[in-house]
Amino acid sequence: MIRPKKAVLFALSLLLAPAAARAAEVNLYTTREPGLMRPLTERFTTQTGIQVNTVFVQGGLAERLAAEGSRSRADVAMVVDVGNLMELVDRNLTQPVESAALTAAIPAHLRDPQGRWFALSTRARAIYASRERIPEAEAAKLTYEDLADPRFKGRVCIRSGQHPYNTALFSILMIEHGEGWLRDYLTKLKGNLARRATGGDREVARDILAGICDVGLANTYYAGLMLSGRGGEEQKRWGEAVRVVLPANETAVNISGGAVTRHAPNRAEAVRFLEFLASPEAQTIYADGNFENPVRPNTPVNEIVAGFGPVTPRNVSLPEVAARRAAASRIVDEVGFDR
């Protein structure tokens, strides 16, 4: 029989036990597919005992966090585009973090000076060129600008111009050449399309193999995924059909990144999770698991990706790229790029 006083203490222990268990968790809202995050989250849990609860948000992450407000359970937000990351900051949906580990691991140009966002990997926007129909010497000299040249009339494949990977590229080109130039470029590029701007990056390689187009735009890590055979034998054939060209006049680089959310209920665990993602072990998983380029200096890229050549990023600031995204998106619509 439990005496009254002991019964009260017993009841309190039952109430407090779940709270203690909840402290050893971190809630991740991410636009990255859970399968890509799983090797990282599982390793973090193995190392720390902290459970990662992953919520996949395909679109509207900022809107969801804003709607949830102070009731949000999100601790960390992760996105795959600099514009989406800056949107979280601009809408006051993140909070500053001071971390010696993050500062030491991530170069200054790949993190916010106030600690409101951190890049965790970079992804290079490459040109895919047909091995069969584009001579190697010609492919090696290709630039993004060349894809609007009349010689590629009816020979270009690309996903939607409104996709973040493309609006980021178009923002970079606008920074370098101006808004009028970008409008003319997108008009000419649309005229060179072999098919409507749709599908994904892997479909660019698929359609090059099929002879629908000869060149296209896609990220390097998709080629890594295809060539590795992880997407199956069919996708491996897609990857083998293309040369991955890092443009002769430097490469447009985007990021995946993360931030601690404004109302994070598990702030300490959130910071610890970001620190893990910037660790040598996690950065190697980014490289070998996802074929991305690590942000931590001296972390080797996967050997398949290394075979594409060294990435020389275009000299533009990430916040400026994000700031131009709305203008680039507007021009995409004005020229009817996706129609």
Residue whose structure tokens are 């070998």 = 288
DSSP state of 302: P
Interacting residues of 50 by C-beta distance below 8 A, sequence separation 6+: 24, 25, 26, 44, 269, 272, 273
Q: For residue 222, say whether it is annotated as part of any ligand binding site.
A: yes
Long-range Cβ contact pairs of 281-287 (< 8 A, separation 24 or more): 281/43, 282/40, 282/43, 282/44, 283/105, 283/121, 285/39, 285/40, 285/43, 286/40, 286/120, 286/121
pLDDT in tens, the chain (339 residues): 445 444 444 344 444 445 444 558 999 999 988 888 999 999 999 999 999 999 999 889 999 999 999 999 999 999 999 999 999 999 999 999 999 999 999 999 999 999 999 999 999 999 999 999 999 999 999 999 999 999 999 999 999 999 999 999 999 999 999 999 999 999 999 999 999 999 999 999 999 999 999 999 999 999 999 999 999 999 999 999 999 999 988 999 999 999 999 999 999 999 999 999 999 999 999 999 999 999 999 999 999 999 999 999 999 999 999 999 999 999 999 999 999
- Please, what's the largest Cα pairwise distance for the chain? 89
Domains 21-122+253-300 and 123-251+309-334 share a fold: yes
CATH T-level assignment (fold) for domain 123-251+309-334: D-Maltodextrin-Binding Protein; domain 2 (3.40.190)
Q: Read off the pLDDT of residues 65-106 as tens digits, 9 standing for 90 and up.
A: 999 999 999 999 999 999 999 999 999 999 999 999 999 999
Q: Read off the pLDDT of residues 17-27 as tens digits, 9 standing for 90 and up.
A: 454 445 589 99
Give the phi and the psi of residue 35 in degrees, each rounded to 5: -60, -35
Phi-psi region of 229 (alpha: psi -120 to 50; beta: other; left: phi over 0): left
Q: Residue 54 forms beta bridges with which residues?
A: 28
Q: For residue 29, say whether it is annotated as part of any ligand binding site.
A: no
Q: Which amino acid is at 88?
A: L
Q: Computed from CA positions of residues 289, 130, 177, 167, in that sequence, does the dihedral angle turn out positive or negative?
A: negative
Structural tokens at position 290? 């996802």
Cα 328 to Cα 172: distance, rounded to the nearest angstrom: 9
pLDDT of residue 34: 80
Cα 252 to Cα 268: distance, rounded to the nearest angstrom: 34
Long-range Cβ contact pairs of 132-140 (< 8 A, separation 24 or more): 132/241, 133/214, 134/214, 134/215, 134/243, 136/243, 139/243, 139/245, 140/245, 140/248
DSSP state of 157: E
pLDDT of residue 58: 87
Residue pair 110/319 in contact by the 8 Å Cβ criterion: no
The domain defined by 21-122+253-300 carries CATH number 3.40.190.10: yes
Cα 43 to Cα 51: distance, rounded to the nearest angstrom: 10
Cα 204 to Cα 185: distance, rounded to the nearest angstrom: 20
Give the domain ranges of the chain.
21-122+253-300, 123-251+309-334
Q: Which amino acid is at 266?
A: N
Residue pair 325/170 in contact by the 8 Å Cβ criterion: no
Closest CA to 199 of 158, 232, 228: 158
Closest CA to 81 of 177, 182, 189, 169: 169
Give the phi and the psi of residue 251 in degrees, each rounded to 5: -110, 140
